[in-house]
Amino acid sequence: MKTVLLAMVALATPALAQTPASRSVQPVTITMTDHGFVPRNIALRRGGSYVLHIANRSDKGHNLTQKAFFAAARLSREDRGVVRDGQIVLAAGERATIRFQAPLTRRGGMFQFSSTTLGDADNAYTGAFRIQ
């Protein structure tokens, strides 16, 4: 009887079969420099789990802005405060870590990001998240 009950519970709750350990969390690193983002193009698997490490190695503040991407990505609860109004803002020398699941948008989709800090537009301070 216990075996039948356990089997029924397992079938009724498929989320139990997919533990966080069974998902592969991929690291992504973006560095803000005096000349732009490094790297500029970030490939992400549709629905994949990631941990974004972002560091500002510049001598001034910058931001990474992409409202649609951050609205569509599933940010971890503890990291939602790092992204405000679709952007991550870092002062000179500051770092941030954000855990997220990539948007479930179509493969081949692209989210261009930029820094909207004064003077960055002149330096082509841009990049893109590309969904594969």
In the chain the domains, ranked by start, together with CATH numbers, are: 25-131 (2.60.40.420)
- pLDDT score at 119: 79
**Per-residue model confidence as pLDDT tens digits over 46-86:** 999 999 999 999 999 999 999 999 999 999 999 999 999 99
The predicted model scores a pTM of: 0.78
Helix (H) or strand (E) holding 26: strand 25-33
The better pLDDT of the pair 23, 98 is held by 98
- pLDDT score at 60: 92
**54 with 64: CB under 8 angstroms?**
yes
Structure-block tokens of residue 51: 């941990």
